[in-house]
Each structure stands twice: as structure tokens, then as C-alpha cells.
Amino acid sequence: MNEAWLKKASRTEQVAALVQWFGARFCDPAEDAPYTSSEGSYLWVHGGPYEAGDQIGDQFRGLVEEAVIERAVEVVEGDGIYQWAPTELTYYDDFFDAEVDARTEPMQRLEATLGRLQGVLSLQGDDAVRNVARQLAYAGAMSALDTFLRETMSYWVDHSEDTVRNLVAGHPGFKDRKISLGKLFELYDALRAEVKAHMQAMAWHRPTEVAPMFSHGLGVTLGYTGFDADVKKRYDLVHRSGRGIDGSAVTVTDADIANLAERVLAFAKEVEAKIEKAQSGE
């Protein structure tokens, strides 16, 4: 939207422009999100719920008067919808895609990253500095595992029609979506983008989100529960400044990092072997 035009436009034109902007980026959740009757709520597979006041206000506050924003929100919510799902224009951004051209890249990158993280342990400094370095290396090793899983799935989504088809047909986030006949062919051409948008919104450290992607898309059971304690420890290191929920300091030793790196690599190789077996039809 042209900001110079918007500032000079009449109030009526400004309201119409804001409503149009919102409508291109957000939709009735009934059009996008599966509804789970057991929970009595929508499954926000592409992010959300979003509120019109937040989205329109964040985008246009300072460009138009507050009264224009309030009126646009009133128009948007006129049908009684107060929680919104994103359209593809909002939830998919190719900037956040994982570019993987070769089948072996995720494993190569993982091995290189783990090697560099363990190299951090050789850095010199006082005990406080070395402790921070160990914490960063530990958290980095878990993040490297998340990245490996995401890059592996990204490769197969980009290079295998079967993977996309299997996900759309089997994953609850896709197969249970209500699609109008009018959108059927439009969505058929955008299936890969739909899957990639879902992947962008995922938390790749959560087994409950990652495991279904591999099971439905590649026919692979991850067995990811062996890292539950490590995920919690990473959370303490990253989000609690190195302290547990009770306030006690989280200790990370060189041996802890070496052990984690070894387990991460072993798990990644196991995943690769399972994928190889599944793809060969054995």
C-alpha cells in the first residue's frame, strides 16, 4: 500500500484501504483452520488466532488517525468474527525457507556445526566466561538437531511429490481442512506452499509437532523422546538465563556437551537410515 496516498486520502478511503489490507491477509478461521469438536476450538495450524485491532493498529498507527483504525476494526468485525486465521499472504514467507539442494546437506551441516560447537570448549578465559561458552554450546547442539530435522523435511518437501501428497492426505493439519469447491484447484497448485507455511510455523523442538511430519510425510517413526530433558535444559539456558524454574544455576560440563553431541549425531544417523529404508520400500 502506498503510504503517501494513504496519508492524503479521505477518511472513507482510508477505512476502505485498511479493511482491504486486512481482508487480504486474514480470514474467517472456518476457511483455514480445522475445527476439533473434542476441544471445541479451532486448530490454528498456520498461526493465530489474530485480532483485527492488533494487526491493523500495529500496521497503520502513525499513518492514519486512531479513529480511522477503530472504524476499520468495526467494519472487519461487523460479521461477529473476532479471532482470525492468516491467509497465505501472511503465513508464508520464502525468506524463512530452509534451502537444501542436496540430500546429504542436512547431515553435513549438522556434523560441521557440532564440531564447531565442541571447538568452543577450547577457548580460554575465566570460569564465568567458560561457563557461558559451555551453556551456549549446549543450547547450540539442541538447536542444531532442530535445524537438521527441519532441513531434512524441507529437502523432501521440495524434491518429492509423494512427500507432499502423503502429508496433505495423512497429516491432521491438512487432511481435516474444510475446502470449498471454488478453492479446490487454486489450493491444488499451492499445496507445497501450504506445507512449507505449516513448517515455518512449527516449533521444531516439540516432538508432538515434528513426529507427525516425518510419520505422515516419510513413513518414519522418530522415537524423539530421548531428548526431553535436554529440551528443558536448553529452555533454562536460553529463556531463564541459565537458571532452573526454582532459581538454581544450571550446570553444563564439557562432558555434558560431548555426550549431547554424540547422542544428537547418533539420532540423526538413525533418522537418515530410517528414511533410506522407507524410500527404498523395504
pLDDT for 180-224, tens place per residue?
544 444 455 567 777 887 888 788 988 888 999 999 999 999 877
CA count, 13 A, side-chain hemisphere, 167:
27
Residues 115 and 79 in one domain: no
Q: What is the pLDDT of residues 219-273, one digit of tens each?
A: 999 877 789 899 999 999 999 989 999 999 999 999 999 999 999 999 999 999 9
What is the pTM for the complete model shown?
A: 0.66
> Does pLDDT of 26 surpass 50?
yes
Whether 157 and 33 share a structural domain: no
The reply to whether 63 and 118 lie within a common domain is no
Based on the domain organization, do 112 and 232 belong to the same domain?
Answer: yes
Q: Determine the Cα–Cα distance for residues 24 and 90; give it in Å rounded to an integer.
A: 9
Burial of 76 (0-12, 13-18, 19+ CB in 10 A): buried
Question: pLDDT (tens digit, 9 = 90+) per residue, 131-155?
Answer: 889 999 999 999 999 999 999 999 9
Indicate whether 272 and 174 sit together in one domain. Answer: yes
Q: Measured between alpha carbons, how far is 282 from 280 in angstroms, rounded to an integer?
A: 6
CA distance 6 to 104: 49
Considering the domain architecture, whether residues 66 and 154 belong to the same structural domain is answered as no
In angstroms, rounded to a whole number, what is the distance separating the alpha carbons of residues 82 and 53?
A: 9
Calculate the CA 165 to chain-centre distance: 20
Contact of 33 with 48, CB cutoff 8 Å = yes
**Cα–Cα distance between 279 and 205 in angstroms, integer?**
25
pLDDT of 82 over the 80 cut:
yes
